[in-house]
Amino acid sequence: MKKRRLVIASVLKPIDDTRMYEKMATSLSKLDHWEVAVIGYPSKHKPAQAGITFLDLQPFSRISFSRLVAPLRIFKIIIQLRPEVLIVNTYELLIVAIANRILFGTKIIYDIRENYFRNIGYTSSIGFLLRWPLAALVRLKEKLLAPSFHHFILAEKGYESEFSFFRNRFTLLENRSVKRSVTVTTRDRSRLLFSGTIARSTGVFEAIKLAVDLHKLDPSITLTLAGYCATESCRREIKVAIAPYEFVKCVGLDHLVPHSQIMNEIDRAGFGIVYYPSSPSTVNSIPTKLYEYLANRLPIITCANQSFAGLVTQHGAGILADGTSPVILDRLKGIQCYNIPIPDIYWEEQKFQDLIQEQF
C-alpha cells in the first residue's frame, strides 16, 4: 500500500516539541500507511524515529529578518515534500498552508495552540502602541483565512468560548501527557520544580518568591527552573532575582530544553509549581505541565484562584499555596498525594488517528 504523507510545520516550536513530535507525529507513525515529516526550529537533540522525518530550520532570533522569511523557507520545504495533509500551528503559516491547498490540493489543518489575539494584546514583550494593532491584525488574518481550512484542532477547551472563526469544523485535542512508565517511588519534598515555558505570564516570579519564603523556614528547600525564557528582558530580571540564592538553579533559561530533560527533572522533583498570574490571556488555560505532573505522580503546588485548582485538590494531587509560609510548609511536608485515581490526563492518540483517517 502506498503511504500517504503528512507534514506538521511550525516557525518557533522546536522539531522535538512534545505536541508536534511526541503526540501527533508519533501517533501517526504507528499507522502503516502514513509517513510523517516535522518542520520546526532546530533542537540540540534531534530525535530519530522510524516513520518520522525531522527537518529543522536555520537558527534565528525571535525578532529578526530571518524570522520574517522563515515561512518562505518552510513553504519551499513543503513544496518539495508535496504532502497530502498539512498541519500548521501558527498564524505565520496560514498563507503558506492555503497556497499549498491552491497549488497542490493539500488538505490543511490549523492546530490552534494559543489565543494569539489575547497573548499579543496582553503581553509585556511588545510595546503598548504596537500591541493591540498587531493583535487585531492577527485575529483578522485568522478570521479571513479560516474558511479555506478543512479543519481546526483546539489545544484548549476554553478556546470554544474565546473565539469562533473555526465554526463547527473543529476537534478538541488538549495538551494532555503522553503515557510513560513511572518508576519514582519516593520523592524529596524539599526539591521544588518550575518547568516548561518560563515567563512572567506563567508565574516564574511567584515561584521564585515562594521558594525563597519557604527556604527561610527550611534551608533544605531548593528550586529548579527548567525550560526556556524567550524574552531577553525577562531573562535578565530572573537572573537578578535569583542571583542572591544558591538554592535556585536554572536548566535552560536562555536556550531550548529537550522535553526528555524536562521529564528527568520531573522525576527528580518533590513538588511541581503550577501558577498563572491573573490575565485574560491565560484565564481558561490548563498548562501542559499540569498534565505531565499528574501523569508522573509529581505532587503539585498551586493556588485556589487557578481554574484547575479543583482538579488538584479533588484528586489528592497536591496542595494550595494560600496562607502564610509556615502553613504552606506544613502542608508540603505532611500531605499524602495520589491516593485517588485521576482520570483524563493522557493524550488522546486514538482520537487524533481517527480524525486524520476519517477526515482525510
Give percent helix, percent strand, percent coil of the chain, each to the nearest 5.
40, 20, 40
pLDDT of 185 reads 67
Angstrom distance (rounded) from CA 153 to CA 7: 15
Q: Is 163 helix (H, G, I), strand (E, B) or coil?
A: coil
CA distance linking residue 305 with residue 275, whole number of Å: 9
Instruction: Tell me the per-residue pLDDT of 104-160, one tens digit each, with 9 for 90 and over.
Output: 999 999 999 999 999 999 877 677 788 899 999 999 999 999 999 999 999 999 999
SS3 (DSSP) at 178 = coil
How many CA atoms within 13 Å lie on the side-chain side of 79? 10
Q: Is the pLDDT of residue 242 over 70?
A: yes
Exposure class string for 137-158: b at 16+ Cβ within 10 A, else e: ebbeebeebbeebbbbbbbbeb
Q: What cell numbers appear for 55 in the block?
A: 527537518
Query: Is-contact 187 298, C-beta < 8 A?
Result: yes
**Percent of the residues in the chain that have a pLDDT greater than 90, as a whole number:** 77
